[in-house]
Structure 1
Amino acid sequence: MTFGLLSPLQCSRLLNSLVRAHSQTVRLRRFSEKFPSNEHIRRFISENTELAGEQSLTPEMKLRLFTPGCRFWTERAELWPFDDPYWAIYWPGGQALSRYLMDHPDVCVGKAVLDLGSGCGASAIAAKICGSAHVVANDIDPLAAVVTQMNSELNKVEPPVCLTSNMIGSDPEGFDLILLGDMFYDECLADSLHSWLDSCIKTHRTKVLIGDPGRAPFEGHDVRKHLHHLARFELPECVREENYGLTTSDVWRYHPEL
């Protein structure tokens, strides 16, 4: 391949794709070396999380999460053997999105749903509970895929299809609805999501729902100009304390034509 034949933008996108692919390969190799079987993975998650979820916006849902009773709640971060365990926290944007789906099952009943950055799998599970025809939970952390399967079993629903490839920038043909809970926490990521979601909507007429508690990269981003507000939820006290005083979380529909 000759980079000189590509435009600067094409070259940048290609390099970013190569970096993502390499990082994914390293993660998966490290993961498989540490855990030779699915049984070992499940045991590790069970030993380092607790059943939680009652003090959230979806108390009817059981989830394996980090709690103050877990070793790595206070343990030094460098002792954690993998990437940051975002899947072990029930983020307030994801809580609002899951609550909204549970309150409005018609949004996803019979639909093909993609939960992007699915983490613990709560929104994917909510979509399953509400009767979605097909659900994909996408998170680049392999542990998130396993904990999503475990959480699905806890809630007595068939696990969604779990994918660990980075789907941002791909062509998600066949999805009626894309869910993003607390994904606009970084400005560069927000830029990537904005461009990709525009393409998804314009190409496939995909419906996009976003859950966010008002984080600065989201509030100050151009994407806010294209959002229709659907709901606001008061966060439980413990969720406020764990999220530096954030008090509410909102659900928005992304609609570039607004």
Structure 2
Amino acid sequence: MSAALLMPLKCSRHGKLIYKVFTQTQRHRYLSNVYPSAEHLRKFISENTEITGEQSLTPEIRLRLFTPRCRFWRERPELWPFDDPYWAIYWPGGQALSRYVLDNPEVCRDQTVLDLGSGCGASAIAAKLCGAAHVLANDIDTVAAVATQMNCELNGLEPPVCVTTNMIGSEPDAFSLILLGDMFYDEALATHLHSWLDSCVRVHGTKVLIGDPGRAQFESHSIRQLLHQLAQFELPESVREENYGLTFSSVWCYRPEL
């Protein structure tokens, strides 16, 4: 994965360390690009993450994440065997989005929901807790998909359908709601995402909710003019300490008619 795609990792203390560790791992990954079995991945995730979440905006959701007590927080980078672990951090945009959903369960109740760039699966979990009729979690990392399933089980929920193909740019499915957090960290990706979201809204009337803590790439992008702010959350002290310069995180509704 390129350094540009690792941009969001630069926003946090956790991220700075992980950025240093994982930007060097490309040559050490499985040459076949084939992941081990789900059973092996579950064991790997269980052994190399810690159950946490109490200090986040959603203390009622428990997640397996990287913490300073985890092996790969300090391990030599060449020993990490998989893609860069975005799923192992609970990013502030995702925290705000999940908090908003939990505070407003009617947003997801009886809806067909896509959690795009699902990472640890927190937004998918929030949607299921709020009574969504169907939830699909999409992340291109196979390990993230397994982590999402494990995190759902950790919260007493049936895991959602997990898809690891890149859905951005594909023919839009008829989701009534798309949730995405912390996806506007790269200008090219943001532009591609903007075009695809616009297509989803035009074809299916999909509602789109975006969580972002105000990163520069988000604030300066043209999509910012098409968003209506729904909520703003002050980040817990521990989260602020881990995300230099970020004290709040907001939820926005995408309204291309603006």
| TM-score, structure 2 normalization | 0.86
Is 2:137 the counterpart of 1:137? Answer: yes
Q: Which has the higher contact order (CA 8 A, sep 6+)?
A: 2
Cα deviation code 1:219-247 (max 9, x no counterpart)? 00000000000000011111112122310
Partner of 1:252: 252
CA RMSD of aligned residues (A): 1.5
Q: CA deviation at 1:29?
A: 4.6
Q: Distance in 2 between matches of 1:60 and 1:199?
A: 34
Q: Residue type matched to 1:196 in 2? A: W
Q: CA deviation at 1:191?
A: 0.6
Q: Residue type matched to 2:214 in 1? A: G
Cα deviation code 1:101-131 (max 9, x no counterpart)? 0000000100000000000000001000000
Q: Distance in 1 between matches of 2:185 and 2:205?
A: 25
Partner of 2:40: 40
Q: Distance in 1 between matches of 2:188 and 2:75?
A: 29
- Which one of 27, 30, 34 corresponds to residue 33 of structure 2? 30
How many residue pairs end up in the alignment? 230
SS of 1:81's partner is coil
Which entry has the higher C-alpha Rg, 1 or 2? Answer: 1
SS of 1:172's partner is coil
- C-alpha spacing 1:42/1:99, structure 2 compared with 1 (3 Å): same
Q: Distance in 2 between matches of 1:211 and 1:181?
A: 4
Is 2:177 the counterpart of 1:177? Answer: yes
Q: Distance in 2 between matches of 1:161 and 1:169?
A: 20
SS of 1:30's partner is coil
Q: CA deviation at 1:38?
A: 2.2
- C-alpha spacing 1:200/1:165, structure 2 compared with 1 (3 Å): same
Q: Distance in 2 between matches of 1:118 and 1:29?
A: 25
Q: CA deviation at 1:174?
A: 1.8
Partner of 2:151: 151
Cα deviation code 1:31-63 (max 9, x no counterpart)? 43xx2x322111100111000100000001110
Q: Distance in 2 between matches of 1:76 and 1:222?
A: 40
- C-alpha spacing 1:28/1:123, structure 2 compared with 1 (3 Å): farther
Q: Distance in 1 between matches of 2:79 and 2:194?
A: 35
Partner of 2:80: 80
Contact 1:31–1:142 (Cα < 8 Å) also in 2: no
SS of 2:33's partner is helix
